[in-house]
């Protein structure tokens, strides 16, 4: 049976003022696909990810999620469907690990607190961080922060997860722990769009690898 595309980009172009970031980006992603995007620093890889869930707006072209133009979907709804894990984690420094996970379930999903805590504890066990539940972000290593950020996104049960340089600035041990978790997401048939320079790793997990430049995506 033919699989429908869960995400489609057609002639997507982005400017900052008069400066072209990228143009004519075309991409089709099916459910369960793992797509990796590489390219030189400053070529717009992170900006492209942000365009996929409307953290940035495009200037030309169209992006469709399950056949619907994302400009027709509210940002809050879209970001539950297309979650993003940022390079700098974006954790709330004044909240414990557990509360960093629970807050989205309470405020966005409107789950009761007892259910939110149960789900958060379950995901912390999955990412091997249950012993860190009462710690604050500044008490964690970079790899632990990244796994918390991924866990927080997983809790929202998105259809797609965007990963922006998930292993940037991590030492080998921390990097390996994050890559192990990403490999588990791949094995669980999660749809992923990854921006990464980890060429050896993405070669193992990706269905397709593209290089981004000013004039679109070039398949490797």
Tens-place pLDDT, residues 126-172: 999 999 999 999 999 999 999 999 999 999 999 999 999 988 878 88
- pLDDT tens-digit profile of 15-30? 999 999 999 999 999 9
Q: Is the dihedral of CA 7, 13, 17, 19 positive or negative?
A: positive
Decide if 180 is inside a domain: yes
Decide if 136 is inside a domain: no
CATH number at residue 207: 3.40.50.300
Question: Any idea which residue has 């070039």 for tokens?
Answer: 218
| Nearest alpha carbon to residue 44 among 23, 60, 61 | 23
The number of distinct structural domains making up the chain is: 1
Q: What is the pTM of this model?
A: 0.92
Average pLDDT for runs of 10 along the chain of length 220: 80 94 96 94 93 96 97 94 91 96 94 96 94 96 92 94 88 85 91 91 91 90
Decide if 211 is inside a domain: yes
Decide if 64 is inside a domain: yes
Whole domain around residue 66: which residue ranges? 5-91+158-219
Pairing state of beta strands 5-16 and 60-65?
A: antiparallel
């Amino acid at each position: 049976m033919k699989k429908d595309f869960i995400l489609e980009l057609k002639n997507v172009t982005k400017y900052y003022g008069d400066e072209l970031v990228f143009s004519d980006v075309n991409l089709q992603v099916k459910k369960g696909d793992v797509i990796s995007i590489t390219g030189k620093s400053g070529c717009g890889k992170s900006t492209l990810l942000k365009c996929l869930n409307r953290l940035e707006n495009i200037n030309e072209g169209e992006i469709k999620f399950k056949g619907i133009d994302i400009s027709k979907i509210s940002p809050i709804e879209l970001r539950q469907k297309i979650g993003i894990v940022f390079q700098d984690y974006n954790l709330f420094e004044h909240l414990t690990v557990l509360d960093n996970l629970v807050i989205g379930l309470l405020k966005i999903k409107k789950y009761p607190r007892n259910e939110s805590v149960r789900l958060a504890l379950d995901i912390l066990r999955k990412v091997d961080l249950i012993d860190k539940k009462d710690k604050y972000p500044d008490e964690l290593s970079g790899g632990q922060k990244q796994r918390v950020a991924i866990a927080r996104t997983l809790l929202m049960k998105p259809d797609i997860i965007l990963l922006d340089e998930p292993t940037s600035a991590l030492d080998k041990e921390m990097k390996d722990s994050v890559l192990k978790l990403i490999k588990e997401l791949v094995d669980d048939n999660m749809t992923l769009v990854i921006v990464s320079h980890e060429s050896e790793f993405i070669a193992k997990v990706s269905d397709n690898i593209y290089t981004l430049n000013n004039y679109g995506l070039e398949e490797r």
